[in-house]
Structure formats: C-alpha cells, structure tokens
Structure 1
Amino acid sequence: MAHQKGVYFIPHNSVWPIVAAVSLFTMLFGAAHWLNDSAGIGPPIFFCGLALVIFMFFGWFGSVIRESVHGNYNGQVDTSFRMGMMWFIFSEVMFFGAFFGALFYARIFSVPWLGGEGHGAFTNYFLWKGYTSSWPTNGPEGIGGAFQIMSPWGIPLINTLILLTSGVTITVAHHALKEGHQTRLLIFQALTVLLGAFFLYMQAHEYIEAYTHFNLTLHSGIYGTTFFMLTGFHGLHVTLGTIMLIVIWFRCKKGHFTKDNHFAFEAVAWYWHFVDVVWLALFLFVYIL
C-alpha cells in the first residue's frame, strides 16, 4: 500500500534486527575461537554464523526492496537512507584507518625503537642484540622465517588498473541509468561485476604465490600480519561489493529504478568508489613505500 503524501513510513514489526544480532555474534564468536585454535570448534561455529548472516541479508534486504517497489518510501525516507549510507561508509573509513594506523605505528615508532632509536636507546644491545630496524621486518626473532615481499609492479599494479577501470564502468552505468539507457546500463554494470570478480581472482593468485613461493604468511611478523589484514579485509569488501553489484544488476533488469529514484544503485556506487580509494592507499603504503 502506497504511503500518504508527507507521512513518514514506519516499518512493521520485524524479526530481522534480532536475527542480525544473533548471527553476527555467532560468526564473530566462531572467528575468535578459530584464530585462537580453540579445540577445533571455531570453524563450524563461524560457518554456521555466516550462513545465518547470509539468510538475514536475503530476508531483511528483500523486505526493504518490496517496501520500496510498493511505493512505501517518500523523500524523508530517502534522506534517511542517504544519511545511513554516509555514516556506514564513515565507519568503514575508521575501520581501515585503525589498520593503517597499526601499520604506520609499527613502521614509524615500534621498529625504530626496537633498533635502538629514540626512546628505545640500547634496546638492540640489551634486549635484542644486533637487531637492525628496517622495513619490511618479521621482528627481532625472525618470526615465521625469512620471506620475500610482493612486488608492486606485478599483480598489485594489474589489480589497481582493474579497480580504476571498474570505477569508470560503474560511473558510465550510473549516467546510463539517469539518461534512461537500459541496455547501456546493464552492459556497464555487468562489466563492473566482471572486473570485481577478476580482481578477486588475481588477489587469490597473489596469496597462493605469497604462501608457496615467497614464504610470506600471516605468521611473517608484523609485516605479514599487516599485509594480509589490510589486503584481506579489502578483498572481503570487494567480495561484498561485487555481490551488491550483482543484486543491483538484477534489480536494474527488473526495472526497479527510474531516472529520479535509484538510491540503491547510488549507494552501491558510493561503496564501490570507497573500495577503489582504499585500494589506492593500500597500493601506495603497503606495496610501494
């Protein structure tokens, strides 16, 4: 039933918030036990929680899509959605900011101190004799053994070009939507999906190469930890973004959007551009510098 003009839409009672809370807690509880090798219970609990999260996404977003298609939302709701997406992306900026902060702190403060500089004077003589501060490092005790770093001019450069190109294709698709060109919209949206999938394929290939040929793993000291945490979480975000792009492609094909009413498409485009920007920072500070 369509909303009355000027009346803010109030959703009916929903079970999805409690389902989201339970499923996210289950997934993170399993992940914590998995990372700490706790009696082997981590993986099954994690995947159980992940299945619940996927179920929740299908149910909750399905409800929102049905409400939107039925005309329940007005301008006030659209503004709420936009503000919510802005705050969500801001929270993602803070999320990656914490990992970049750990990287910068290790490189600028911790490693030089361990090498005897500044407040860590004589640390390299009394605590870890002979340790020389340099980056990348696997720590004074050589945790994980010797490793090689990934060259920025191979797969990372290719992935940078892939994401930059995907930023162009989704922008072209957005303009096609605003101009009412359905065929062009679907073609460039599909190209964006394919580029996202290709990025993930190349990153998986890079990880296999790092583990099998370069001995670069999560256990390779502070460098290995920050490398895989930053690139891995970014890969997770690319995965989520690609799934979102696929969902939006089907919604575009079904004609859910008009030239003037297509915030769901814009939200996904915002998210994808955010993913692009984060990768540029990763390429610069993790691979090059």
Structure 2
Amino acid sequence: MNVPQHSPDYFVPSMSWHPARAALALLGVMFSLAGWINGQTWAPIVFSLSLAALACVLWRWFGDAIAESERGLYGKRIDASYRWSMSGFIFSEVMFFSALFGALFYARAVVAPMLADFDHKLLWPEFSALWPNAGPAELTPPFEAMGPWPIPTINTALLLSSGATLTVAHHALRDGQRRAAIFWLAATVGLGFCFLCLQGYEYRHAYRELNLKLSSGVYGSIFFLLTGFHGFHVMLGVLMLTVVLMRLARGHFRPDHHFAFEGAAWYWHFVDVVWLGLYVVVYWL
C-alpha cells in the first residue's frame, strides 16, 4: 500500500462504537466471572460469550487503527501519543508485578518471622519461619517447593534467547531487510510458544508429583499468582508478536515507521526482565 508523504498534523478519528461495545463486553466478563465464582450455572456460558465478544471488538478496533496507519493518517504527534500510551501501560504493569513481589516479600520477611517469635509460641509452638512452609496450623497437605532445575532454567534460556532474536529482527527491519526480520521474529514467536508449553508441563509436574497447588498455603498462592500472571503476559506478548509477524509478512511497516513492532518489542523485553526477577526470587531464594 502506498503511504502518502504528508500526513495530517493531528489525526482526529471519526465517531466509533468500539469503546462502548468493549465496555459492555467487559461488563459481561466481570459479571459472569463473579457468578461463576459463586457457582451460578449460567455463568460459564455468559463468560465465554462475553470474552468472544470482547475479542471481536478488539479485532475490529485494532484493524481500524492498522488501516488508518497504513493510509498514512498518523503523523509524528500520533506516533508520540502511541509511545506515551505504551509507556504508561508498561509502567502500570510494573506496578502490578511490584505488588505481587511485595506480597512475597511481606509474607516471607515480615509475617513468617512474626508468627515464629516468642509472643506466638503459645499459639503455634511447632511453627518455624522456614520458607516455604505450610502455615502455622499446618492445615495444608505436605508439598515440595519448585526448584530452579530443569524447567525454570530452560525457560530462562528461552526468554533470554527470544529477547536476542527480537532485537536482531528489529535491527533487520530498520535496515530494510524484511525477510531477515520475518525470520527472526518468527523465531521469537516460536521461543515464546515453547516457554508456554514448558510452563504448562511445569504446572502439571507441580500438581501431580510435588502436590504443590494454589491451595498450598501462602507459598502455593504466591507461586502460582506470580508465575501464572507472568505466563499470561507471555501469552499476550506472543499474540502481539504474532500479529506483528503477520503484518510484516503482508508488507506493512517501513524502516522509519513501525511503532507497532517497537511497542510489542518493549512489552516483550519487559516480560523478559520480570521473568529474571521472578526466576531469582521464586526459584532460587
């Protein structure tokens, strides 16, 4: 597609129903999820339909944005808006994971020693502040902690390698080497998919062989929250990069105009950094 040389100073989109439809779909998702948690039989069906409706709205919404970009309607001001928006989104994700890491620190460095001090010996005389533990009353069945080898270490190598292949793909795109960019971006997507498959196998191993579950005290809750939310973010990153790969194969992007690629790359590198912290704090310490 030929892109006009002169884009408008600031593009103002036309009226759209996408925000209202997305809000209604999100309302359906949250309402049905609340019903599902409370055992309502209709909730799983409504949840699935609402989630599918949200996916359709986002598909059309992002499709409109891609079409506007390819028509050359986005200038430097819009580019700056997208960059600031993506930066704010990633900052919100940093705060989200900071809260989860903070919960781990609080449970391990504050609550566990407090429950093991002299004032609590009369209530729980057998409790010790070792990590992980099953809680002061030992109400949870025995379990084993997840170690760093082999799956978490292999996943670390996969994510670090994917960050390298993504950087190579970005440099290839900036140099105008589209085929090389497609190859290295496809390698990045493949590495991310392998990470998700191995994490699924890790969860299966945790449940069946280690008896480590979401209900395994504070350790099990924090372990699955941290690794599960990170896996969810990896899935989103793989989805973003897959869309970028499809667009790249269709001839989208230019060496000087490819923010969608850059935004997805920012997100992927953020996921890499979070995993490094998670790998050290959860699996090693």
TM-score, structure 2 as length reference? 0.95
- 1:95-134 to 2 correspondence within 5 Å? 95-116=96-117, 121-125=118-122, 127-134=123-130
> Which amino acid in the other structure matches residue 261 of structure 2?
F
Identity of aligned residues (%): 48
Question: Which residue number corresponds to residue 22 of structure 1?
Answer: 24
Cα offset for 1:44? 2.8
Deviations 1:180-220 (A, max 9, x none): 11111110000001000000000000000000111100000
Deviations 1:256-282 (A, max 9, x none): 100000000000000000000010011
- 1:82-101 to 2 correspondence within 5 Å? 82-101=83-102
Question: Which residue number corresponds to residue 10 of structure 1?
Answer: 12
Structure 2 counterpart SS, 1:72: coil
Count of aligned pairs between the two proteins:
283
CA RMSD across the alignment: 1.7
Structure 2 counterpart SS, 1:85: helix
Question: Which residue number corresponds to residue 142 of structure 1?
Answer: 138
Distance 1:172 1:137 in 2: 44
Cα offset for 1:234? 0.5
Deviations 1:80-126 (A, max 9, x none): 0000000000000011111111111101111111112xxxx42132x
TM-score, structure 1 as length reference? 0.93
> Which amino acid in the other structure matches residue 15 of structure 1?
W
> Which amino acid in the other structure matches residue 133 of structure 2?
T
Structure 2 counterpart SS, 1:122: helix
Distance 1:288 1:30 in 2: 38
Structure 1 counterpart SS, 2:121: helix
> Which amino acid in the other structure matches residue 248 of structure 1?
V
- 2:232 is aligned, of 215, 236, 239, to 236
Contact persistence 1:143–1:219 (CA under 8 A): no
Structure 1 counterpart SS, 2:276: helix
Question: Which residue number corresponds to residue 60 of structure 1?
Answer: 61
> Which amino acid in the other structure matches residue 9 of structure 2?
V
Task: State yes or no: 1:224 paired with 2:220.
Answer: yes
Q: Which runs of 5+ in 1 are unaligned?
A: none
Contact persistence 1:8–1:76 (CA under 8 A): yes
Question: Which residue number corresponds to residue 82 of structure 2?
Answer: 81
Q: Which runs of 5+ in 2 are unaligned?
A: none
Distance 1:99 1:90 in 2: 15
Deviations 1:129-154 (A, max 9, x none): 32112111221222431000111021
Distance 1:223 1:185 in 2: 42
Change (3 A) 1:227 1:64: same
